[in-house]
Amino acid sequence: MDKALTKNIDETRGPLDYQGYVAAGGYASVAKAMEMAPRDMMALIKEAGLGGRGGAGFNTGLKWSFIPEPDGGPRYLVVNADEMEPGTFKDRLLMEQDPHLLIEGVIASAWALQATTAYIFLRGEYTDAEELLLTAIDEAYAHGMLGTSVNGSDYRLELYLHTSAGRYICGEETALINALEGQRATPRAKPPFPQISGLWGRPTLVNNVETICNIPSIVLNGVDWFKQQGLGEEAGSKMFGISGRVNNPGCWELPLGTTFRTLLEDYAGGMREGYSLKAFLPGGGSTDFLMPEHLDVPMSYSEVGKLGSRLGTALVMVLDDKTCPIGCIHNLIKFFSHESCGWCTPCRDGLPWVEHMLLEIEQGRGKREYLDILKEMTGYMGPGKTFCALAPGAMAPLQSGLKHFMAEFEQHIDEQCCPYKHDHQLQRSA
């Protein structure tokens, strides 16, 4: 596999400045993109099969193609850098280690969309990324890659960095657009979709950081090259990461289709001594648990989907055998409950109720009837039952937890305590 996303990353050196980035071949895709008609470039990205790297995996070029032809008014490209999915840190790595790659991807993408203005909507806590991006944006303006004459052409593009006040709901593209407009961050009804009526009622495309960072390599190397970077039917490389009690937690660029076992054992160095794998969330906190027998499954959107989970952001969260699964699920639901925008009743009222029942079970005050209620709630807040995907995502670890860890749920209730905490106490006393 040829590295497309991390080829310039050297953490001992830090990110390249403009001159260093250009010397390494940077910004070459801008000129090549601008030799193509915008619709031809959209077709190129569609044919390459680049799936959105924010979690959904939807074909990026197809998403772009829904934008109408220019009518003389403003059009917008928005980069979603509000990385708040629990367990996910891939976009931060890309922005902090190679900010010019993101800017190059923005310029090439904006050309295809004929966007006049672009925004990077950045998570407010990412202060290092903010400083590095601002410096890189200033350098790009100073060298004519942004502004009134992009790369010496008559194409104009303004790029702004917007730091978010910070809410998980801003990962939903229409809530992000509302926040960017200065409104309350709540999802909008669709249709109309943002490609037709987005930011300030104008055509808008919202794409994830990693998605945009893939654009330069596709433009430069072509469709066949990109398809060859994957190990199966899905094209390209992907940022894969892992956290939890492993020897070497981190994030790596690997081919789509790499197995979970390869990530865990070859890159993360396996489980720490004294711990074994109990389960794992394959793509952040809003995905369904997978079990040790799934380690040899390829990390691709389709293969993980066949198991009833999602690849999501492809950042694996490991649950070890000494960590309480009910406590883990409660912690995730507590986060999602806090981050609910309150726009729809199932999410606003249902998540706090679920969080309360899980806390009662975890602290030894649970009742058997809670388990039936929790199962019902996973249906009430499932796909299609809420205004956006926040609550259905929150239900993913719960519904799979009820499936895989029912014995632990029942043990908490029957023994009126968390057995894992008892084990920890014994270990400490020993």
pLDDT tens per residue across span 173-216: 999 999 999 999 999 999 999 999 999 999 999 999 999 999 99
Q: Hey, is 362 helix, strand or coil?
A: helix
pLDDT of residue 164: 87
Question: Which CATH number do you get for residue 405?
Answer: 1.20.1440.230
**Same domain for 207 and 256:** no
Pair 224, 241 in one domain: no
212 and 254 in a common domain = no
Report pLDDT digits (tens) over 101-159: 999 999 999 999 999 999 999 999 999 999 999 999 999 999 999 999 999 999 999 99
Q: Report in angstroms the alpha-carbon separations of 322 from 156, 238, 244, 319, 418.
A: 56, 30, 12, 8, 12
Per the DSSP assignment, residues forming a β-bridge with 317 are: 243, 281
Do 334 and 402 sit in the same domain of this protein? yes
Would you state the pLDDT for residue 268? 98
Instruction: State how beta strands 315-320 and 277-281 pair.
Output: antiparallel
Domain-embedded: residue 146: yes
Domain CATH for 296: 3.10.20.600
Which CATH number is 47's domain given? 3.40.50.11540
Would you state the pLDDT for residue 166?
72
Same domain, 348 and 290: no
* Claim to verify: residue 172 and residue 216 sit in the same structural domain: yes
Look at residue 233 in the predicted model and tell me its pLDDT: 87
Assess if residue 128 is contained within a domain. Answer: yes
pLDDT per residue as tens digits for the range 209-223: 999 999 999 999 999
Please state the φ and ψ torsions of residue 121, each to the nearest 5 degrees: -95, 100
**Per-position b or e across 27-62, b if 16+ CB within 10 A of its CB:** bebbeebbebebeebbbbbbbbbbbbbbbebebbbb
- Percent of the chain exceeding pLDDT 70 equals 98
Angle at which helix 390-404 crosses helix 325-339, to 10 degrees, equals 170
Q: Is the pLDDT of residue 227 over 80?
A: yes
Residue span of the structural domain in which 372 resides: 325-429
Whole-angstrom Cα Rg for the chain? 22
Residue 5 lies in a domain: no
Q: Per residue in 73-106, pLDDT tens?
A: 999 999 999 999 999 999 999 999 999 999 999 9
305/342 same-domain check = no
Q: What is the pLDDT of residue 171?
A: 87
pLDDT at 57: 85
* Residue 425, pLDDT score: 46
Q: Evaluate if residue 321 carries a pLDDT over 50.
A: yes
Same domain, 213 and 358: no
Does 197 lie in the same domain as 86?
yes
**Would you say residue 3 lies in a domain?**
no
Average pLDDT value for residue range 26-48: 96
6 occurs within a structural domain: no
Q: Are 208 and 5 in contact (CB under 8 A)?
A: no
Pairing of strands 250-255, 76-81: unpaired
- CA–CA dist 289, 327 (Å, integer): 14
| Distance, CA of 107 to CA of 114 (rounded, Å) | 10
- Mean pLDDT over the full length of the chain: 94
- Residue 421 and residue 388 share a domain: yes
pLDDT at 422: 56
Residues with Cβ within 8 Å of residue 331, at least 6 apart in sequence? none
Q: Which of 270, 302, 320 is the last residue of a domain?
A: 320
Confidence bin at 12 (pLDDT 50/70/90): confident
Using the predicted structure, report yes or no on whether residue 428 has a pLDDT greater than 60.
no
Among 295, 320, 345, give the residue marking a domain's end: 320
Looking at the fold, whether 335 and 415 belong to one and the same domain comes out as yes
Final residue belonging to a domain, choices 203, 228, 253: 228
Q: What's the number of domains the chain is made of?
A: 3
Tell me, yes or no, whether 12 lies in a domain.
Answer: no
Same domain for 254 and 183 = no
- Look at residue 243 and tell me if it is in a domain: yes
- Answer whether residue 4 is part of any domain: no
